[in-house]
Amino acid sequence: MSWTRRGWLSAAGTSLMGTALGAVAKTPLDYARGRPGDRPASRQRAGDRTPPLPLAEFEPKSMLHVEETRVARARFPVIDFHTHVSPRGRSPRAGVPPAELLPVMDAVNLRTMVNLTGGSGEDLARTIRNFDRAFPRRFVSMTEPTWGRASEAGYAAWQADEIARAKTAGAVGVKILKTLGLYLRDGGPDGKLVPVDDARFDPMWETCGRLGLPVAVHVGDPEAFFLPIDRFNERYE
């Protein structure tokens, strides 16, 4: 059987069905849950899983198309805009206290980490307290929409208010993961993907603009994600 990235993930996805999103929504929205780096959800048979692969048989083919240049230490202080020190839906990684990251950052002349997946609500508050407030200017965190509630009536207005509260709590921006574009569907799991410029979400973007919050959008996945999942795929998961 031929495995594709889209086919694999949908077996692991779950969905939340609900009422229309806002007054203009005509059909329910389906949200197949995933994590950063997961394969996008699609139609597939329940029970499908990535087949086991012994490590001795793993022969990954590199997808790199350009030469690699290793830089041991940046010439100038660097801001790393793409980090995930607190993965979505989870607490900051166990065993890596923020203070222990500082020597690693200093060694490569990394001045600031922008934590894209700061979470929302209490998760965001905890992340900002443990990272941003404890080590000012070394860590800054973004918030994320709660897509699991996207099927609820009035979601966009509620989410706009949540974004405003996140700004007050200390969030410096909003991160849009691949949920919007590869997971969120109209009319159930077999429906059409909700376009990223869907007008139903306008209240969210207008709030970001009004508050001066930048929006970072996940726009693409590694090439290997869309190739058959076999022993040659470097992203075999």
181-208 per-position pLDDT tens digit: 988 998 888 899 999 999 999 999 999 9
Q: How confident is the model at residue 85 (pLDDT cuts 50, 70, 90)?
A: confident
Residue/partner pairs of 62-70 with CB below 8 Å, 24 or more apart: 62/234, 63/222, 63/223, 63/224, 63/234
Instruction: Note down the domain range covering 152.
Output: 5-62+74-226
Residue at 153 is within a domain: yes
Q: Which residue has the higher pLDDT, 47 or 220?
A: 220
Whether 144 contacts 117, CB under 8 Å: yes
Residue at 67 is within a domain: no
Residue at 116 is within a domain: yes
Whether 144 contacts 119, CB under 8 Å: yes
Residue at 84 is within a domain: yes
Residue with tokens 């229309």: 20
pLDDT above 70 covers a percentage of the chain that reads: 76
Helix (H, G, I), strand (E, B) or coil at 193: strand
Residue at 69 is within a domain: no
Q: How confident is the model at residue 48 (pLDDT cuts 50, 70, 90)?
A: low
Please report the pLDDT score of residue 20 as a whole number. Answer: 32
Whole-angstrom Cα distance, residue 148 to residue 218?
Answer: 18
**Tell me, what DSSP letter sits at residue 215?**
E
Residue at 233 is within a domain: no
* Closest CA relative to residue 184, chosen from 174, 196, 202, 175: 196
What secondary structure, in 3-state letters, does 88-157 show? CCCCCCCCCCHHHHHHHHHHCCEEEEEECCCCCHHHHHHHHHHHHHCCCCCEEECECCCHHHCCCCCHHH
Q: Which residue has the higher pLDDT, 189 or 141?
A: 141
pLDDT at 22 over 90: no
Q: How confident is the model at residue 49 (pLDDT cuts 50, 70, 90)?
A: low
R_g of the chain computed on alpha carbons: 20
pLDDT above 90 covers a percentage of the chain that reads: 59
* Number of domains within the chain: 1
pLDDT at 64 over 60: yes
Whether 114 contacts 82, CB under 8 Å: yes
- Kindly report whether the global pTM for this prediction surpasses the value 0.85: no
What tokens does 148 get? 């699991």
Residue at 129 is within a domain: yes
Q: How confident is the model at residue 4 (pLDDT cuts 50, 70, 90)?
A: very low
Residue at 237 is within a domain: no
- The alpha carbon dihedral of 16, 126, 164, 207 has a sign of negative
Q: How confident is the model at residue 28 (pLDDT cuts 50, 70, 90)?
A: low
What mean pLDDT comes out for the span 213-225?
A: 92
Helix (H, G, I), strand (E, B) or coil at 24: coil
Please report the pLDDT score of residue 88 as a whole number. Answer: 58
Q: Which of 40-49, 99-108, 217-226 has the highest mean pLDDT?
A: 99-108
Query: Which CATH number belongs to the domain containing residue 50 in this structure?
Result: 3.20.20
